[in-house]
Amino acid sequence: MTVKIYPRTNDFETIYLKHTITKPSIIVGDYTIYNDFVHDPCQFEKRNVLYHYPVNQDKLIIGKFCSIACGAKFIFTSANHSLHSLSTYPFPIFFEEWNLDSSQVADAWDNKGDIVIGNDVWIGYEAVILSGVHIGDGAIIGSRAVVTRDVPAYTIVGGIPAKEIKKRYDDAIIQELLKLQWWDWPYDKIKRALPHIQNGEIDRLIGIFDK
């Protein structure tokens, strides 16, 4: 894809997110967009990816062609407090005060791992994705949902905590879409197939464009 930040002329609220990322622990696919009408969308790393510290070596991985609405947040492991301790107080963080081993600072929380967002995922306004969550291709996350568990491909979820509302398609069509992986096609092929993608004509994609 062309290296540019703003997909539309004179629209400075919507960005191609990939081209604003500086941290190697955040990986974003081509054409994924982020819109922010409150703050500068180019501040996504700072404002939207929270408690993401190098000590954990966890990653935020976002696929291609995702749409991320204003205020969506990705909250990482360091926001947790350990449930294995008798106290929820994060003693290891304050190792100097308590004469603890500074190398054990990560014991203050339970490490839940990477956040992984598939391709063609729509994340609604002010939704919150918690550490360790994997969201499948084609899923939709409702506005202000709090996602605490994995979301299957092509599934719509919403609420606090987020629960399945419905599947976007039946299982057979979902499997066909996952096999097609149209988001990995070259630009010219996607452009030719775009009328069928937009019109939901999966039958026109199978056999014609899946080669």
* Domain range 14-168, CATH class: mainly beta
Tokens of 189: 């092929």
Q: Rounded CA gap, 150 and 25, in Å?
A: 20
The predicted model scores a pTM of 0.94
76-89 confidence digits (pLDDT tens): 998 888 888 899 99
Instruction: Supply the pLDDT for residue 194.
Output: 94
Tokens of 95: 């190792």
Active site members: 81
Average pLDDT in the chain: 94
90-101 confidence digits (pLDDT tens): 999 999 999 999
Tokens of 53: 């510290």
Instruction: Kindly list the domain boundaries of the chain, sorted by start residue.
Output: 14-168, 170-211
Q: Is 59 exposed, middle or buried (0-12, 13-18, 19+ CB in 10 A)?
A: middle
